[in-house]
Chain A
Amino acid sequence: MIPQDAAAPSAEYPPLRLHVPEPAVRPGGTPDFSNIRIPRAGQVNRPDVDVDAETIRDLAFSVIRVLNRDGEAVGPWAGALSDTELLEGLRHMMTLRAFDARMQMAQRQGKTSFYMQHMGEEAVSCAFRRALNPGDMNFPTYRQAGLLIAGGYSLVEMACQIYSNTHDPLKGRQLPVMYSSREHGFFTISGNLATQYIQAVGWAMASAIKNDTKIAVAWIGDGATAESDFHAALVFASTYRAPVVLNIVNNQWAISTFQGIARGGSGTFAARGLGFGIPALRVDGNDYLAVHAVAKWACERARRNLGPTLIEHVTYRVGAHSTSDDPAGYRPKTESEAWPLGDPVIRLKNHLIVRGAWSEERHKQAEAEILDSVISAQKEAESYGTLHSDQRPSARDMFEGVFADMPPHLRRQRQEAGV
């Protein structure tokens, strides 16, 4: 019950009112990104890697960009990648997009229960992966499959995991897209948001304790930065100067919740790092070259034992949150088309054409080839079964791996299950 005098007016102060942030536009409205400040490509300076966080506070409020409107690479962050590397990067992004499309369709066809696509965010994980060395470890969320594809992981294994079939490397125990590959520097994905962010810091600390040269890379979305683990990760990374790169992928949306709900009055997500004394950068997440350059810079800092870096990747979640989501219920249908940073695949393609290393014809041809290879991987995976087919991991596998050695109570339960 509210005490009666709670509503009594005060002569001195007007009544308090709760502030709940709202996105600028809702369904039916005209998309409007005029409030997003985007500097021209090449404008943001490139500090030395041993810079003091205090002196680059402006980088947490700007956006590092390399590719300009004409598809040219400009400014101090340009110039690190060869034609061959960029062509490979384009192929990685196109493969991820094609794979997403096929798996999205497979889910609609009932071949699996669930899928989450990356549309619009392909550059973030694909370009970052190129900055890593063998042995480095990513602590990804469910929307960084580009790390696997750019790291050479098999599409067949990815599809088998999604289908929970007899060749599923995780034996059917995990929800689709919760991949794990130690060999490819890809830590086991958890459904619990943000938990991996602090674990990445611990992994990096372990590498430092053992005087190793490997670094860790943490990943989180804009919405999940509100979880306590995010704050713990920044505290511990800062305290122990852990060799970790702390990525925030700001795709503007956490399911139906716009990024302003998680960001509050902080201005940018990158700005959160400043309070912890961690150098913080914002980067155009749809600019393959910029993401890669910033990743290299941050990884170099970590490898030189200069401590953690926080990177906010500014991008847009073009697709639905998952196959269980319909964005038409909370945002304008055409919002992604109005997104000012464009499409990462098209932007890299145009850059390669400007460089004279690519053409529309070769792009079309590559699209067809990539689709063929994805379909062929999908077919192979389907030959090992899909979710509701008879080919699935055995019920016996369900009892394995809870502990290193099966304790007596689990043995009894396995017997009871008749497997």
Chain B
Amino acid sequence: MPRRTMIEAIRDAMDVMMSRDDNVVVFGEDVGYFGGVFRASQGLQAKYGTSRCFDTPISELGIVGIAVGMAAYGLKPCVEIQFADYMYPAYDQIVSEAARLRYRSNGQFTCPLVVRMPTGGGIFGGQTHSQSPEALFTHVCGIKTVVPSNPRDAKGLLISAIEDPDPVIFLEPKRLYNGPFDGHHDRPVTPWSKHDLANVDDGHFAIPLGSAAIRRPGEAVTILAYGTMVHVAETAATEAGIDAEIIDLRSLLPLDLDTIEASVKKTGRCVIVHEATLTSGFGAELCALVQTRCFYHLEAPIARVAGWDTPYPHAQEWDYFPGPARVSRALIETLEA
């Protein structure tokens, strides 16, 4: 089976869908001829032509706005916002339009649209190349929010997202584009070629939205994570010597609550990890759901490890990023509670 980086897997997903469905179109800033600043659409314009894959003016609201109109016509746009940090000008089109077309028109108009956005920190991206805005999407009814953590999931989930009849926000942790990252910034990065989850099948395969994956089975505590934090959590559990069950949520909405509930009822303990800032982050929703569903099984308070409630700094990257040391500490405290 071929090993692929996350970028290659994402490109392959778009390639597969463009070849299967003439209605799939791909566009965004620098996405066409150049193939994207992260190379995610490399070769697609040459293969499918400029009417299927093209460059746009620098206008996020324009990119999503035309995509909504195209989706209403019957196309399936898979568009790119260069960094999730720059999605805010498009937020009105996402929240007020894409998310509501089906509901407000009683199904006369629908919006089968995917908005891809590189997300997350750990790359010295500073304030506007590091943000994790997923909670700003999960709070919006009518859209789905997906965050893959490895090449195989990235391809299978992106194919599901493109096939989905509703709008999907597809957040790609750019720190994971070329290799898994566990938060040990002082060690050399291993490429995806050394990782089993980089075995990505050729052709079409789909991973359903709303299904979590248990990355590491365990008995002592449940860790809920997604994106880069899945790899950080795996390393933290190993270093702390704790038999943690690590759940990679993969899709935040719809959420695989059954898998979460079964795990926490088994372990009796839960640690939630995300890069995004703490207050009103998606972890708060996870915390509330676990507390409501598993209250009588909980043996310790639910812990959250998250980015601090500050803008993402530059020089203090590793003081900000929730690395394995912070996650280990939370695991130990939760077990000792």
A interface residues, Cβ below 8 angstroms from B: 137, 139, 169-171, 173-174, 178, 180-183, 187-188, 190-192, 195, 198-210, 216, 228-229, 232-233, 235-236, 239, 401-404, 407-409
Contact = CB atoms under 8 A, between A and B. Distances in A.
B301 interface: no
A242 B210 CA distance: 37
B268 to A, nearest CB: 24
Interface stretch (B106-114, B122-130, B191-199, B231-239): B106-114
25 contacts: A137-B72, A173-B104, A180-B105, A182-B108, A183-B108, A187-B72, A188-B101, A188-B104, A190-B96, A192-B97, A198-B66, A199-B66, A202-B69, A203-B73, A206-B69, A216-B69, A228-B61, A229-B92, A232-B61, A236-B62, A401-B106, A403-B102, A403-B144, A407-B254, A409-B255
B102 to A, nearest CB: 5
B257 interface: yes
B104 A202 contact: no
A407 B210 contact: yes
B138 to A, nearest CB: 11
B165 A239 contact: no
A179 to B, nearest CB: 10
Contacts of A139: 69
B262 interface: no
Most buried by A among B106, B141, B210, B255: B106
Contact of B70 (A203, A228, A404): A203
Contacts of A195: 65, 92-93, 96-97
Nearest to A393: B106
A229 B69 CA distance: 13
Contacts of A190: 96-97, 100, 104
Nearest to B96: A192
A235 B142 CA distance: 28
A207 B23 CA distance: 11
Given A235-B62, A403-B166, A180 B69 contact: no
Interface size class of B (residues with CB under 8 A): 35 or more
Nearest to B72: A203
A183 B61 CA distance: 27
A404 B141 CA distance: 13
Q: Would you list the 6 A-B pairs with minimal beta carbon distance, nearest first?
A: A202-B69, A202-B66, A198-B65, A199-B69, A232-B62, A188-B105
Contact of B62 (A169, A170, A198, A207): A198
Contacts of B89: 228
Given A192-B92, A198-B66, A232-B65, A206 B106 contact: no
Contacts of B87: none
Contacts of B96: 190-192, 195
Contact of B104 (A170, A198, A199, A200): A170
Interface string B37-73: 0000000000000011000110101100111111011
A205 B72 CA distance: 12
Contacts of B254: 407-409
A209 B75 contact: yes
B295 interface: no
A132 to B, nearest CB: 16
Contacts of A199: 65-66, 68-69, 72, 97
Contacts of A210: 73, 75
A240 to B, nearest CB: 8
B66 A402 contact: no
Most buried by B among A170, A182, A204, A401: A401
A205 B106 contact: no
Given A192-B92, A201-B66, A202-B66, A229 B61 contact: yes
B75 A408 contact: no
B217 interface: no
Given A195-B96, A206-B70, A408-B254, A401 B57 contact: no
B311 interface: no
B241 interface: no
B59 A209 contact: no
Nearest to B69: A202
Contacts of A171: 106
Nearest to B25: A209
Contact of A233 (B65, B141, B210, B255): B65
Nearest to A239: B57
B74 interface: yes
Nearest to A179: B105
A187 B70 contact: no
Given A209-B51, A209-B75, A407-B210, A201 B108 contact: no
Given A205-B66, A206-B69, A228-B89, A404 B59 contact: no
B57 A236 contact: yes
B132 to A, nearest CB: 22
Nearest to A191: B96
Nearest to A174: B104
B51 to A, nearest CB: 5
Given A204-B69, A236-B65, 16 more contacts: A139-B69, A170-B106, A173-B103, A182-B109, A190-B104, A192-B92, A195-B97, A198-B61, A202-B67, A233-B65, A236-B62, A236-B66, A239-B57, A402-B102, A403-B102, A409-B254
Nearest to B108: A182
Contacts of B66: 198-199, 201-202, 205, 236
Nearest to A181: B108
B102 A404 contact: yes
Contacts of A180: 104-106, 108-109
B25 A201 contact: no
Interface in B252-290: 253-255, 257
